[in-house]
Structure 1
Amino acid sequence: MTDETQHNAETPAAETPDEALYSTETLEAARVLFARPATFMMGAAKIEQLPAADLPEVTFAGRSNVGKSSLINALVGQNHLARASNEPGRTREVNFFVLDEKLRLVDLPGYGWAKASKAEVKKFQNLGRDYLRGRPNLKRAYLLIDARHGLKAVDNEPMDALDVAAVSYQIVLTKADKIKPHELKAVIEKTQAQIKKRPAAHPVVLATSSEKGHGIPELRAEIMTTCAVAP
């Protein structure tokens, strides 16, 4: 058996690594919720431009080009709600998307790389940090990490900031289909060990693939229960 054949044979085992965490009823309710209308609300370039804190919000943060836009699109079943770009660091505002007028999905500027001046990079990354520190309706931040690389030194700064601000956050591995199941299992275990002593980190690490749909039902269920909303 070739490596490629072995990889393909193993792939189904990695499709729903977190399914045991959620009941069939919860997964179905989350599917129904995320099938409801989702629209782009606004982009905020300044903290003063943020919308009223009148709906529960979850936010997505991560290194530039980690797949935030693709993940948001996969969650709501749309291809172009959040604009994905081949140019890392393109997101330079806090972008708000409304799901069925019940909750908001918030896309933060990426960190670690951006095709912009240092002053501009600092400006929009500070905006993201200000949002995280001062948003009373923020239920959880999802920190996206490329499954092929795992946590890196550059990820320590946002985790430190979230810990200090006491903002609950959860690691979501992206592009999980790009590695073999046993490699994914090892990355999950290593990541869980790395965040074990971080006070604001959720202990469960979720693995997803926006392209294949792996882990998307489980992440929907996590968001729905975290925000305490129903379809």
Structure 2
Amino acid sequence: MSPDESAVLTPEQIEAGRLLFASECTFFFGSQTLDQLPPPGVAEIAFAGRSNVGKSSLINAMTGRNRLARASSEPGRTKQLNFFNLGDRLTLVDMPGYGFAKAAKAVKEDWQNMMFTYLRGRTVLQRVLLLLDARIELKPSDRDVMELLDKAAVVFQVVLTKCDALKPGRLDAKRREVEAEMARHPAAYPHLVLTSSETGMGIDTLRAEMARLVEMGEARQAHAES
């Protein structure tokens, strides 16, 4: 696996990703319980990760907006699924962070139950982007979520965040560690993306990957309707 997936993307795919994420993107729904979920519509991409992994920063970087998704210095503050409409072609879903140490056991169990039910039952969900902080070792909670995604049979793509904070040697070692873990999970998409919301590293690649998913879904829909 290449650490830089942009090597297998064409300039046209990169441009398609740029155009998609240049579309208007607006928050349209927040759900604290599964019976509040919006009706299924266009394809959905969900962002998951430990508290303070940089989900909000990544969403903002991908959409080119500073305050679309709000970052918090308080781990575990986001308690709901937040839905964002991207150009009426893609829905971005910001999931509550997991692994926050101060949360009671019951809260953690509620998160797992709600997330598993959402992941397993959401027919329009195309992929989960599982964010891992490049500076921090893999935690048991990270592996637990990977297993949960395996059980839910939902494809997940691992995205390393804050990669600008590591020197090349450490980053390469981190990449190898994470790829070895990915190889143990049947639901893991086999391309790791290295990103930095600060420098823009990997953002074009991630946009292009999401645009490719959207285009494939739209092609299938058009074929089904023809």
Offset of residue 203 of structure 1: 1.1
Q: Answer with 60-69 or 122-131: which moved more.
A: 122-131
* Closer, same or farther: CA 196–124 of 1 in aligned 2, 3 Å: closer
Residue correspondences, number: 215
Q: Deviations over 1:8-58 (max 9, x none)?
A: xxxxxxxx9332021111101110110110000111011011111111001
Matching residue of 1:77: 64
User: Match of 2:148, SS?
Assistant: helix
SS at match of 1:194: helix
Q: Does 2:104 align with 1:111? A: no
The 2-side partners of 1:211 and 1:158 are apart by 26
The secondary structure found in structure 2 opposite 1:78 is coil
What's the CA shift for 1:116? 4.7
CA distance in 2, matches of 1:75, 1:88: 22
User: C-alpha distance in 2, partners of 1:108/1:125?
Assistant: 11
Of 39, 48, 54, the residue aligned with 2:41 is 54
Is the 2:116–2:152 Cα contact (8 Å) retained in structure 1? no
Which one of 94, 98, 103 corresponds to residue 85 of structure 2? Answer: 98
* Stretches of structure 1 lacking an aligned partner (at least 5 in a row): 1-15
Tell me, in whole angstroms, the C-alpha distance in 2 between the residues paired with 1:72 and 1:174: 12
Question: Does 1:175 find its partner at 2:162?
Answer: yes
The answer to whether 1:145 aligns with 2:132 is: yes
In 2, Cα distance between equivalents of 1:94 and 1:198: 25
Aligned partner of 1:185 among 156, 172, 184: 172
The answer for the alignment partner of 1:200 in structure 2 is 187
Relative to structure 1, the CA distance from residue 209 to residue 77 in structure 2 (aligned partners, 3 Å threshold; closer, same or farther) is same
Query: Matched residues in 2 for 1:101 and 1:134: separation?
Result: 22
The alignment's TM-score, normalised by the length of structure 1, stands at 0.88
Quote the offset at 1:115 in angstroms.
4.9
Alpha-carbon distance in structure 2 between the residues aligned to 1:115 and 1:191: 26
* Superposed CA offset, 1:137-170 (max 9, x none): 1000011000112422221111111101110001
2:74 to 69, 84, 87: 87
Contact 2:5 2:191 in 1 (8 A): no
Q: Deviations over 1:104-134 (max 9, x none)?
A: 0001111110655443443344322221111
| Aligned counterparts of 1:184 and 1:21: Cα–Cα separation in 2 | 21
Contact conserved, 1:45 with 1:127, CA < 8 A, in 2? Answer: no
TM-score by length of 2: 0.90
- What's the RMSD between the two structures over aligned residues? 1.7
The residue identity in structure 1 corresponding to 2:120 is R
